[in-house]
Amino acid sequence: MSTRIFGSGIKRREDPRLITGEARYTDDIKLQGALHMAVVRSPYAHAKILSIDSSAAAGMPGVRAIFTGADIGDLAGLPTAWLIPDSDLKTPEHPALASDVARYVGDGVAIVLADSRYQAQDAADAVMVDYEELPVVVDPHEAAQAGAPQLHDDVEGNIAFRWVMGDREAADAVFEAADVVVSERILQQRLLPTAMEPRAASAQYNAATSELTLWCTTQNPHIHRFIISAVTGLPENKVRVIAPEVGGGFGSKIPCYPDEALVSWAAKKLGAPIRWAETRSENYLTTIHGRDHVQFVDMAASNDGKILGVRATVYAGMGAYLSTAAPGIPTILHGLLYVGPYTIDNVFCESIGVMTNATPTDAYRGAGRPEATFLLERMVDKVAGALDMDPVALRRQNLIPPFADGHEVATTLIYDSGDYEAAFDKALAMAGYDDFRAQQAQALQAGRYLGIGVTTYTEMCGLGPSQVAGAVGFQGGLWESATVRVTPTGKVQALIGASPHGQGSETTLAQLISSELGFPVDDIEVIHGDTTETPMGWGTYGSRTTPVTGAALAQASRKLKEKARALAAHLMEANPDDIEYADGSFSVKGSPDQAQSIQEVALMAHLAWNMPEGMDPGFEESQFYDPPNFVYPFGTHIAIVEVDPVTGSIDLQRYIAVDDCGPQINPEIVAGQIHGGVVQGVAQALCEGVIYDDSGQLLTGTMLDYCLPKADMFPNFELGETVTPSPHHPVGVKGVGETGTIASTPTVYNAVLDALAPLGVAQIDMPLTAAKVWQAIQNANGGN
Amino acid sequence: MWPQQFDYQRADSIAGALAAIGADGKFLAGGHSLLPAMKLRLSTPDQLVDISRIDALRGIANGNGSLSIGGAATHADIAASAAVGAACPALAQACGMVGDQAVRNFGTLGGNIAHADPASDPPSVLVAVGASVTIASADGERTVGAEDFFVDLFETALDDGELITSINVPDLSDHQMAYVKLPHPASRYAIVGVCVALMMDGDTCGHAHVGVGGATVKAVKCAGAEAALAGSSLDDAALSAAVAALSDDIGEWLTGDVAYPEAYRSAMAGVFLKRAISAAKG
């Protein structure tokens, strides 16, 4: 493996087109004669639809058609595609348009198709819907109580599933016998994913060929093809899904949404191309939200600091319908992480999926794992407090010792590799932990409140073995495939089934291929996002594209390299065993003047004038790759904060992140992923949070009220790394797209609570806004 | 973000603008308050009369002990104006805290106060220092004191068809003044914003001007706090008395929301009064 390109922090080739505005997104694609769709959305969180009168709207300028739920009987409801087993799962019907009952503010009840987007919206406003309001519940814990308003007739008590991990009695016995048990009700507030590009979908149906093309903002065009085929009844080979440039997703562009089904249906129905793009207001109302857990958590420990068990009951808000992957998030991707990097032998999780009159939730960056890591890290700090131990010493005492090839933990996962203490020590050294504690004590004398939070984490990503996917009810595989295609002039097209949308994978994967095959990185193009052009793949999420697609590309490249070696040997009339390879050139051992470049070999493979016996012409290889296990990145994050007790404002002064994702193909892109992840995770701790009022109205419906993180909230991040390869991966890499989000929320939360400890504040629900911090200080000292 | 259909006209003069405006029309200057409201369909005028290129509305002049700031002068122009910096530096500070640079380059002070967002920065300064607003209409011209101009939440003394031609600010170059704010972390609008102008005589405060916004449904001049500070040496006792008086001054107008409730805003108004005094003293 050439070390020059693998590990080089070259600039992202995606950036020029993104920065200059030249990138072509779904809504940039103009379709001749297109109609524009506007969706009439329920202004009520729960209401019977008594009647819909579209007569006035139908006569408005430019209006071509108006459809309600009653008109779309041949469009099937949106499916839920993660059917977790042994959980008494109910999957309520999710029609593309509500026809009897609207169940959240933003639920679609009609669509208007018009010549312009303005005309469509004017007419949508003129569609008269007569509603009868019904009682509303938005809190998942309240929704699970007897007497709560019911959302769906076939989901009794609003409980969509009840998933249990571990043995309750065994766990309870450990807790009863333990020296110390700490408990907390943890609120994992709802978050808005807020991709820079809102969702959009355009569809065109060609009646002559019976083919539907759907351009849409998706992280997984092949899954979208499958679902659009299923809901429209069009055969899968007649559906082409194209993800043009996609401006971020953070998980929110995994699900298949009603809007995408509706443009597909209407394009066929009306014989005209249909365009739709959501406004930011619609994005906040109807694109999935993340998190929304009410957790009741206990941790048990012995007096000498051994963590004995974790036990949690989780009420996970699903919103009004079960989104595509929603049931898997607070269960499989959550409970299985309860051991973290620690030697904890007893874990128990009961996760209850609850329907509420709110926007559906689904995967949001980290998806289940941030919610697990937070509760673990919060409870470790609480145990330290209860035992009057240094939280760093407590963590060190409980870390799993280093392992290079497999370590089974109590949740049944087999971690691939880890050296947690190395990352821990490095981060503590960078932070100057011991010195900080002295500074903190000094500052307190001067009336200043400094705090430090330390998180050690591991997580599972690079989803994942398909056999596991099947066992946990995921209605798909989790392998990836890739084709490495070399043209006669030695230029490379790498076709992948995954669908990057901001991660820099076009750069990273080109570097990987270059390092395997010796083609210059600038001669390698990575092509993705079109079900007709690219081989099958399950998509970009779960920090899986570099690990899984990367492995497929590495193996396809290696097949090509072996073919090249054999052909080069044949062309140079040498024994293949005598061929040496270096930097894209094959030479004969002992005769360095005799050499064939990879480009020369590729050309000869295409010409096929002189092939070895039995070798096929051409220079292209494909590979399906099903990972044998997840990958488990890990690390330690540390935050230092100062709290102004007068205003409750928090100043994040330092942030140290030491992450281990194995060998880094492009350290700059890794750093970018960590920066972005940390920013999103810190924002959950400090400022982001959906607020609904009691009637289910979204009070944080614009960026005036919903607080996205801003650059001036952050210090320069101090990054470090350790390198522990994954033993089962062709190049040893692990995913790093979500680690920042997973680790940073508890890090900053614990730092703030550490700062507030002298004031007697022990708990505040996230986000830690100045007002809540101030109120907690008032409450703790009686307002004095 | 699709506004309802409307007509658009550009006016070349104040008289032309006043002649053009219809019953359901709005004047468009920078558009940074009006256009977002239209895109959300919270505001649905059927006509916009663009006044942004009327030179007579854009000037900033100092004469006869008073600054005259054109209604369509931008926040950026005011923030950078030497005349404003000398006569009323707190107004320059406040205008420099509105939005971001791009917003300040377009958004105008006239548009800002016509919108009367309670969390906007400049109104606190204008009520504190006793500014006035000159308003023109087809019927003529009138001038309204800033305290009377701001009536209630998003409500001003402006009638339909009236245009803000200038904002008149007394020259307080002999005062020490500051505007400080606690910004909302999402919008950066003021959770609370406080303007203080002090006329110091040695260590004694001759008189004080105090205005508060953000915490209140409109910018409020705080006579009680002003009285508590006047004649004092701004010692701890005087500051405590001023904070207590401020609480009464704003009590009637206090507002809050789920994220930043009234109790918090009220407490912060006192905190930021003290911080404004400290900043004003330098």
Same domain, B123 and B137: yes
Q: Has residue B118 been placed in a domain?
A: yes
Among candidates B41, B259, B271 on the partner chain, residue whose Cβ is nearest the Cβ of A771:
B259
Are B5 and A122 within 8 A, CB to CB? Answer: yes
The residue-averaged pLDDT of B91-103 equals 97
The residue-averaged pLDDT of B242-266 equals 97
pLDDT of residue B1: 77
Chain A, nearest residue to B189 by Cα:
A704
DSSP string, A368-421: THHHHHHHHHHHHHHHHHHHT--HHHHHHHHBPPPBSS-EE-TTS-EE--B-HH
Nearest residue to B35 via CA among B47, B43, B25, B24: B43
Q: Give yes or no for a cis peptide into A464 (omega within 30° of 0).
A: yes
Q: Please list every residue in chain B whose beta carbon sits closer than 8 Å to the beta carbon of residue A112.
A: none
ipTM (interface pTM) = 0.96
Residue A565 has pLDDT above 70, yes or no: yes
CB A119 within 8 A of CB A60: yes
Chain B nearest CA to A130, separation (Å)? 21
Residue A536 has pLDDT above 90, yes or no: yes
Are B185 and A707 within 8 A, CB to CB? Answer: yes
Are A649 and B1 within 8 A, CB to CB? Answer: no
Structure tokens at A177: 């016998």
Chain B, nearest residue to A711 by Cα:
B185
Q: Please list every residue in chain B whose beta carbon sits closer than 8 Å to the beta carbon of residue A705.
A: 186-187, 259
Give me the CATH code for the A31-134+196-248+253-286 domain, please. 3.90.1170.50
Pick the CATH number of A15-20+479-625 from 1.20.120.1200, 3.30.365.10, 3.40.228.10, 3.40.190.10: 3.30.365.10
Q: Which residues pair with A300 in a beta bridge?
A: A181, A309
Chain A nearest CA to B59, separation (Å)? 31
Are A691 and B259 within 8 A, CB to CB? Answer: yes
Per DSSP, the three-state class of A635 is: strand
Structure tokens at A646: 């007068």
The residue-averaged pLDDT of A27-46 equals 98
pLDDT, tens only, A103-142: 999 999 999 999 999 999 999 999 999 999 999 999 999 9
Q: Which residues are CB-contacts of A781 (< 8 A; sequence separation ≥ 6)? A: A759, A760
Which CATH number characterizes residue B39's domain?
A: 3.30.43.10
Q: Which residues are CB-contacts of A124 (< 8 A; sequence separation ≥ 6)? A: A38, A39, A40, A57, A110, A112
Total number of domains constituting chain B: 3
Please measure the distance between the N-terminal and C-terminal CA atoms of chain A and give it in whole angstroms: 66
Among candidates A281, A699, A707 on the partner chain, residue whose Cβ is nearest the Cβ of B258:
A699
Same domain, B266 and B183: yes
Q: Please list every residue in chain B whose beta carbon sits closer than 8 Å to the beta carbon of residue A115.
A: none
Residue A652 has pLDDT above 60, yes or no: yes
Residue A354 has pLDDT above 90, yes or no: yes
**Separation between Cα atoms, residue A294 and residue A317, nearest integer Å:** 8
At residue A187, φ and ψ (nearest 5 deg) are -100, 115
Chain A nearest CA to B185, separation (Å)? 6
pLDDT, tens only, A260-280: 999 999 999 999 999 999 999
Q: Which residues pair with A313 in a beta bridge?
A: A296, A350
Q: Please list every residue in chain B whose beta carbon sits closer than 8 Å to the beta carbon of residue A699.
A: 257-258
The percentage of residues in chain A with a pLDDT greater than 90, rounded to a whole number, is: 98
Residue A659 has pLDDT above 60, yes or no: yes
Residue B62 has pLDDT above 70, yes or no: yes
Structure tokens at A552: 């497929």
CB of A704 less than 8 A from some CB of B: yes
Chain B nearest CA to A599, separation (Å)? 51
Are B5 and A118 within 8 A, CB to CB? Answer: yes
**Helix, strand, coil distribution of chain A in percent, nearest 5:** 30, 25, 40
The residue-averaged pLDDT of B66-82 equals 97
pTM assigned to the model: 0.97
Q: Please list every residue in chain A whose beta carbon sits closer than 8 Å to the beta carbon of residue B264.
A: 648, 770-771, 774-775
Chain A nearest CA to B260, separation (Å)? 6
Residue ranges covered by each domain of chain A: 15-20+479-625, 31-134+196-248+253-286, 367-462+631-781
Residue A154 has pLDDT above 60, yes or no: yes
The percentage of residues in chain A with a pLDDT greater than 70, rounded to a whole number, is: 99
Are B187 and A703 within 8 A, CB to CB? Answer: yes
Which of A12 and A592 is assigned the larger pLDDT? A12
Residue ranges of alpha helices (H) inside B60-170 are 75-80, 82-87, 89-96, 101-106, 109-115, 122-129, 146-149
Which CATH number characterizes residue B265's domain?
A: 3.30.390.50
Residue A194 has pLDDT above 60, yes or no: yes
Q: Has residue B2 been placed in a domain?
A: no
**Separation between Cα atoms, residue A107 and residue A100, nearest integer Å:** 12
Among candidates A122, A647, A699 on the partner chain, residue whose Cβ is nearest the Cβ of B268:
A647
Among candidates A281, A708, A771 on the partner chain, residue whose Cβ is nearest the Cβ of B260:
A771
**Separation between Cα atoms, residue A337 and residue A622, nearest integer Å:** 34
Q: Has residue B1 been placed in a domain?
A: no
CA A237 to chain centroid, in Å, comes to: 28
Residue A91 has pLDDT above 90, yes or no: yes
At residue B63 the predicted structure's pLDDT band, cuts being 50, 70 and 90, is confident
Chain A nearest CA to B156, separation (Å)? 22
Alpha-carbon distances, residue B69 vs B128, B135, B178 (angstroms): 17, 12, 19
pLDDT of residue A593: 86
Q: Which residues are CB-contacts of A320 (< 8 A; sequence separation ≥ 6)? A: A103, A104, A107, A151, A355, A356, A357, A358, A359, A360
How many pairs of residues across A and B have Cβ atoms under 8 Å apart?
A: 62
Chain B, nearest residue to A712 by Cα:
B185
Q: Has residue B249 been placed in a domain?
A: yes
Instruction: List the domain range (segments joined by +) for residue B76.
Output: 55-170
The residue-averaged pLDDT of B211-230 equals 98
Q: Please list every residue in chain B whose beta carbon sits closer than 8 Å to the beta carbon of residue A706.
A: 186
Q: Has residue B24 been placed in a domain?
A: yes
Best of A189, A282, A704, A766 to mutate (most B CBs within 10 Å, chain B): A704
pLDDT of residue B282: 87
Residue A1 has pLDDT above 80, yes or no: no
Residue A783 has pLDDT above 70, yes or no: no
Q: Please list every residue in chain B whose beta carbon sits closer than 8 Å to the beta carbon of residue A121.
A: 2
Among candidates A125, A646, A705 on the partner chain, residue whose Cβ is nearest the Cβ of B186:
A705
pLDDT of residue A3: 47
Residue B121 has pLDDT above 80, yes or no: yes
**Separation between Cα atoms, residue B160 and residue B27, nearest integer Å:** 10
Q: Please list every residue in chain B whose beta carbon sits closer than 8 Å to the beta carbon of residue A279.
A: 1-2
pLDDT, tens only, A470-493: 999 999 999 999 999 999 999 999
Q: Has residue B165 been placed in a domain?
A: yes
Are A770 and B182 within 8 A, CB to CB? Answer: yes
Q: Please list every residue in chain A whose beta carbon sits closer than 8 Å to the beta carbon of residue B267.
A: 774
Are A707 and B264 within 8 A, CB to CB? Answer: no
Are B258 and A769 within 8 A, CB to CB? Answer: no
Decide whether A15-20+479-625 matches A367-462+631-781 in CATH topology: yes
**Helix, strand, coil distribution of chain B in percent, nearest 5:** 35, 30, 35
Residue A314 has pLDDT above 70, yes or no: yes
Q: Please list every residue in chain A whose beta carbon sits closer than 8 Å to the beta carbon of residue B184.
A: 704, 707
CB of A70 less than 8 A from some CB of B: no
Q: Which residues pair with A585 in a beta bridge?
A: A582, A597
The label of the residue with tokens 């299985």 reads A336
Structure tokens at A331: 């269960």
Q: Where are the beta strands (DSSP E) in B17-93?
A: 25-28, 47-50, 60-63, 66-70
At residue B229, φ and ψ (nearest 5 deg) are -85, -30
Are A122 and B185 within 8 A, CB to CB? Answer: no
**Separation between Cα atoms, residue B110 and residue B167, nearest integer Å:** 8
Chain B, nearest residue to A704 by Cα:
B187
Q: Has residue B197 been placed in a domain?
A: yes
Same domain, B155 and B95: yes
Domain final residue pick, B151, B170, B189: B170
Q: Please list every residue in chain B whose beta carbon sits closer than 8 Å to the beta carbon of residue A122.
A: 4-5
Q: Has residue B16 been placed in a domain?
A: yes
Chain B, nearest residue to A122 by Cα:
B4
Are A117 and B2 within 8 A, CB to CB? Answer: yes
Q: Please list every residue in chain B whose beta carbon sits closer than 8 Å to the beta carbon of residue A771.
A: 259-261, 264
Q: Whole-number mean pLDDT of chain A?
A: 97
pLDDT of residue A782: 61
Residue A525 has pLDDT above 80, yes or no: yes
**What are B's interface residues with A at a Cβ cutoff of 8 A?**
1-5, 40-41, 182, 184-187, 189, 191, 257-261, 263-264, 267-268, 271
Chain A nearest CA to B141, separation (Å)? 36
pLDDT, tens only, A197-254: 999 999 999 999 999 999 999 999 999 999 999 999 999 999 999 999 999 999 999 9
Task: Could you please state the CATH topology (level 3) that the domain comprising A367-462+631-781 is classified under.
Answer: Aldehyde Oxidoreductase; domain 4 (3.30.365)
